[in-house]
Amino acid sequence: MTVSPFIEHLPKAELHLHIEGTFEPELMLRIARRNNVPLPFASADEAKAAYNFSNLDEFLSIYYQCMSVLITQDDFCDLTCAYLDRVAAQTVRHAEIFFDPQAHTSRGMDFATVCNGIRAGLDYGRERHGITSRLIMCFLRHLEEDDAMATLEQAMPFRESIYAVGLDSSETGNPPGKFTRVFAQARDAGFAAVAHAGEEGPAEYVREAVDILRVQRIDHGCRVLDDPSLTSELAGRAIPFTVCPLSNHKLRVVDTLEQHPLRDMLDAGLTVTLNSDDPAFFGGYINENYQSMQDRLGIDDATLASIARNSFNAAFLDDTRRAELLAQLDSYLNTR
Ligand code: HPA
Ligand code: ZN
């Protein structure tokens, strides 16, 4: 996909990005070899050929397999640095990054190894590229709430490194309400909160995420449109939605990108951002997600600029950095 110069240089924030989903096959094979652990793929081409999914669960099964080659703190640091090196060239100025601690602690890793490795990568990104970041710890919704509660306890010594909690993994049959207590405890401890909702699951899960988990943003959320009164309520409250078109297409939430509901979400007055989810698996990083919506839905440059503005307004930024990034965006738009 050819990315237009306008999109390439447009300052933007990434708000929906799983760091384990940035694991490119070349780096995965290198780390697997270094750690002497087996992978089901012998080459990068073989891996990419296996990235054909008919739903979220089929993807998740490969995703958890791939990340199991990550063993040392340096592995997590290398993964994070590689992502930031790549998106520095996509004019990403700020990134809010999910990680899945339970996918690592469940295979015997220390929480500290994972968190400190990612943290070191984020520090590198700020020093080398000036990219600011926030780290968001996701609970795996296919596991029990007690497991999430234990993970929250493990995270407390890393309170300064982790800004927010989130909720991801297998959505159907795992409603937000299953995690009422752990989100309440996390909010009491000062964490911000977001949740995946309405990706494969119904609009009702979006309502639960907002009303019961009291999240500040909805990840994906396209299915909110099935409930017009909820849609207008969330439009009125300007709850941000972190939409990921290439993900929705690869996981067959939509059959074609032309059928993606982005324009309907915009027309409904929702606050929408564009993001990449698991770019190593879904065929594109943030700029390819912007470009795909221009190519397939005819979303014009002015609308993409307003989506980039939403990304800074919806980010967990302090006032100074937010003002700085909005000024960078204005200056970019004014000098064109
Ligand atoms: N949905 C749910 N869980 C996930 C995803 C997703 O798109 N990516 C990584 N974990
Ligand atoms: Zn996601």
One digit per residue, pLDDT tens: the chain, 336 residues? 999 999 999 999 999 999 999 999 999 999 999 999 999 899 999 999 999 999 999 999 999 999 999 999 999 999 999 999 999 999 999 999 999 999 999 999 999 999 999 999 999 999 999 999 999 999 999 999 999 999 999 999 999 999 999 999 999 999 999 999 999 999 999 999 999 999 999 999 999 999 999 999 999 999 999 999 999 999 999 999 999 999 999 999 999 999 999 999 999 999 999 999 999 999 999 999 999 999 999 999 999 999 999 999 999 999 999 999 999 999 999 998
Which residues lie near ion ligand 2 (Cβ < 5 Å)? 277
Find all residues with CB under 8 Å of 171, minimum gap 6, and list them.
56, 141, 196, 197, 199, 200, 201, 205
Cβ of 169 closer than 6 Å to ligand 1, yes or no, is: yes
Q: According to DSSP H, which parts of 164-261 are helical?
A: 180-188, 203-211, 228-236, 245-250
Strands 132-140 and 164-168: parallel
User: Which tokens sit at 312?
Assistant: 């800074």
d(CA 228, CA 206): 12
Query: Could you tell me the distance, in angstroms and rounded to a whole number, from the CA of residue 128 to the centre of ligand 2?
Result: 26
**Cα-based angle 163, 164, 168 (whole degrees, multiple of 5):** 140
Query: Could you tell me the distance, in angstroms and rounded to a whole number, from the CA of residue 107 to the centre of ligand 2?
Result: 21
Sign of CA dihedral 148, 150, 154, 157: positive
Which residues belong to the active site?
199
User: Which tokens sit at 125?
Assistant: 């990104």
d(CA 217, CA 205): 13
d(CA 221, CA 207): 10
Query: Could you tell me the distance, in angstroms and rounded to a whole number, from the CA of residue 310 to the centre of ligand 2?
Result: 18
Cβ of 247 closer than 6 Å to ligand 1, yes or no, is: yes
Find all residues with CB under 8 Å of 99, minimum gap 6, and list them.
18, 19, 20, 114, 115, 118, 135, 136, 137, 138
Give the position, in ligand 1's atom list, of the atom nearest the Cα of 278. Answer: 8
Sign of CA dihedral 197, 203, 207, 208: negative
Give the position, in ligand 1's atom list, of the atom nearest the Cα of 171. Answer: 2
d(CA 193, CA 152): 13
Query: Could you tell me the distance, in angstroms and rounded to a whole number, from the CA of residue 219 to the centre of ligand 1?
Result: 9
d(CA 253, CA 160): 36
Give the position, in ligand 1's atom list, of the atom nearest the Cα of 169. Answer: 3
What is the tens place of the pLDDT at every residue in 7-47?
999 999 999 999 999 999 999 999 999 999 999 899 999 99
- Ligand number nearest to the C-alpha of 246: 1
Cβ of 18 closer than 6 Å to ligand 1, yes or no, is: yes
Cβ of 208 closer than 6 Å to ligand 1, yes or no, is: no
Cβ of 219 closer than 6 Å to ligand 1, yes or no, is: no
CB neighbourhood size of 86 (10 A): 16
Cβ of 200 closer than 6 Å to ligand 1, yes or no, is: no
Residue nearest to atom 4 of ligand 1 (CA): 169
72 in Cβ contact with 293 (< 8 Å): no
Query: Could you tell me the distance, in angstroms and rounded to a whole number, from the CA of residue 168 to the centre of ligand 2?
Result: 7
Does the domain at residues 5-328 carry the CATH identifier 3.60.21.10? no
167 in Cβ contact with 176 (< 8 Å): yes
